[in-house]
Amino acid sequence: MAEKPTVLVTRKLPDAVEARLQRDFDARLNPDDILYSAEDLVERGAGADALLACPTETLGADVIARLPGSIRAIATYSVGYDHIDLDAAKNRGIIVTNTPGVLTDATAEIAILLMLAAARRAHEGERLVRTGAWRDWSPTAMLGTQVSGKRLGIIGMGRIGATVARMARGFAMEIHYTSASRLPAEAEQGAIFHPQIDDLLAASDFLSLHCPATPETTGLLNAARIARLPAGAIVVNTARGAIVDDDALIDALRSGHVAAAGLDVYAGEPDIHPGYRGLDNVFLLPHVGSATRETRDAMGFRALDNLDAVFAGEDPRDRLV
């Protein structure tokens, strides 16, 4: 019987995913869900054929250079891959894959949740009830922003952005978007394309971010661009924290130019900018866009499908390099 490939798994994964890992591979699991350091990855990866990593591991050029020579592939348990230096992996001949497609609906649901929660002041209202500070119904208490019928601007009309647009049409929202390229007319379904981000911003009562984190998009939503939003706009981010200039957004939230924000991702998470914690007009979630049982299983199975292809001598479906 052929020896099973050895896979170092960096985090505790769902039971169904780990069961398949143990069935098909010599799996080095992390049952205590310890956050591995670079040293841990190097030491625990000795003799391993692949690394099943998560966004919590920063695989920069220095770490990749130190990985054991036996490592043939890195399968990241995520769509985003900004935590991996792809050039360094390519130079070492390491195949890198991700898990696109399977977390679209779950992440889009969180974007809609953030939109509604930020607009209707859910954080403040929930706190009033929990602390006993809610005294009575009042015609002027807890006034928020109505979502229905408003203009929704989407930066990045990929799978998730398009799904958010589909869901938002249920609220009769007018969809505006900008993306690397314009969608075919039948895919737009009436959405209005803006070639320039600045033009999109001016037409966005709500703004939802769905572009990847790249050197070009880092700090994309800066003070100058925030100023182009209509007064009282609401900003939602389920993409990557690096896309937002935190100081600029916090200033806009304090001034009221941005009425509220809903955030699921942050630069430097979990050590988020402390300015957010003191603001009542921000609804904060701990990066749970893909956190459904169905989606987390599907992500693991997609990563394992990619590893199966690598060890079968085939080109994996989701190969990045």
287 is catalytic: yes
Catalytic residue from among 269, 273, 317, 319: 269
Is 314 annotated as catalytic? no
269 is catalytic: yes
Cβ–Cβ under 8 Å, residues 285 and 51: no
Please tell me which residue in 20, 151, 194, 240 is annotated as part of the active site: 240
Q: Where are the alpha helices (DSSP H) in the chain?
A: 15-24, 38-44, 61-66, 86-91, 104-119, 122-131, 159-168, 185-188, 197-202, 223-228, 246-255, 274-277, 293-311
DSSP 101: S
Name the helix (H) or strand (E) containing 102: none
* Nearest Cα residue to 237 out of 117, 111, 150: 111
Torsion sign across C-alpha atoms 75, 81, 87, 88: negative
Q: CA 306 to CA 272: how far, in whole Å?
A: 33
The residue from 28, 287, 296, 302 that is catalytic is 287
Rounded to whole angstroms, how far apart are CA atoms 115 and 101?
22
Q: Which residues are catalytic?
A: 240, 269, 287
